[in-house]
Amino acid sequence: MKRIEHIGIAVKDLEAANKTYNAVMGAEHYKTETVESEGVSTSFFKVGESKIELLAATNPDSPIAKFIEKRGEGIHHMAFYVDDIQAEIERLKDEGFRLLNDQPKTGADNKLVAFMHPKDANGVLIELCQDK
Ligand SMILES: CC[C@H](C(=O)O)C(=O)SCCNC(=O)CCNC(=O)[C@H](O)C(C)(C)COP(=O)(O)OP(=O)(O)OC[C@H]1O[C@@H](n2cnc3c(N)ncnc32)[C@H](O)[C@@H]1OP(=O)(O)O
Ligand SMILES: [Co+2]
């Protein structure tokens, strides 16, 4: 794991949360992007070499909708930048962790992503990210 790529925050209303985080960060988000395959609309704020990723559900079956229904708004995942996502997937599987996808899939912000089950990491959903 090279660095924290982003912290994902689940929100009910992306526009309202953008206003909140514009004020919190003292800077505007630099992009919004919908990733329909993940059922999310996202917006990104730069903070040093990392980012804040706000995520809202685009449909009731979205993982974000389920998360908010069960746990309310809040920190949803920690994303780490890796140089070789496939090698990291294999390394983590060899360590006995459950990967939620065996191959990288398309993420936001021009990334390939993969996720590890939160129950295997003390209740934290871990995301791996690599530039496309
Ligand atoms: C566009 C990509 C973007 C990017 O950065 O590029 C993203 O970050 S997309 C983010 C949204 N996509 C995902 O989260 C994909 C991976 N997530 C999943 O596959 C599911 O959400 C999963 C498996 C984590 C949970 O799904 P499940 O259907 O099992 O839901 P449950 O509510 O039954 O959860 C089981 C168990 O896990 C706890 N849980 C669920 N989500 C989280 C979480 N984010 N952090 C910590 N814990 C989580 C949930 O509370 C249940 O535990 P329990 O003790 O039974 O309550
Ligand atoms: Co993410």
Rounded to an integer, what distance in angstroms lies between the CA atom of residue 97 and that of residue 117? 8
Structure tokens at 11: 């929100």
Task: Output the residue whose Cα is nearest ligand 1's atom 19.
Answer: 100
- How confident is the model at residue 55, as a pLDDT? 98
Kindly report the pTM of this predicted structure. Answer: 0.97
- How confident is the model at residue 119, as a pLDDT? 98
- How confident is the model at residue 110, as a pLDDT? 95
> In the chain, what's the furthest Cα-to-Cα distance?
43
- How confident is the model at residue 71, as a pLDDT? 97
| Residues whose beta carbons lie less than 5 angstroms from ion ligand 2 | 8, 53, 79, 127
Which of 4, 32, 52, 77 has the most ligand 1 atoms within 8 A of CB, as the residue to mutate? 77
- For the question of an ipTM over 0.90, the answer is yes
| Mean pLDDT, residues 101-117 taken together | 96
| CA 64 distance to own-chain centroid | 10
When the pLDDT of each residue in the chain is averaged and rounded to a whole number, the result is 97
Ligand 2 center to 53 CA (angstroms): 6
- How confident is the model at residue 17, as a pLDDT? 98
Q: Using one digit for the tens of pLDDT, what is the confidence trace for 22-72?
A: 999 999 999 999 999 999 999 999 999 999 999 999 999 999 999 999 999
Task: Give the ligand whose atoms come closest to the C-alpha of residue 125.
Answer: 1
Ligand 1 center to 22 CA (angstroms): 26
- How confident is the model at residue 75, as a pLDDT? 98
- Cα-only R_g, the chain: 14
Mention every residue, 6+ apart, whose C-beta is less than 8 A from residue 116.
92, 97, 98, 99, 100, 125, 126, 127, 128
For the chain, list the domains and their CATH numbers.
3-131 (3.10.180.10)
Ligand 1 center to 125 CA (angstroms): 7
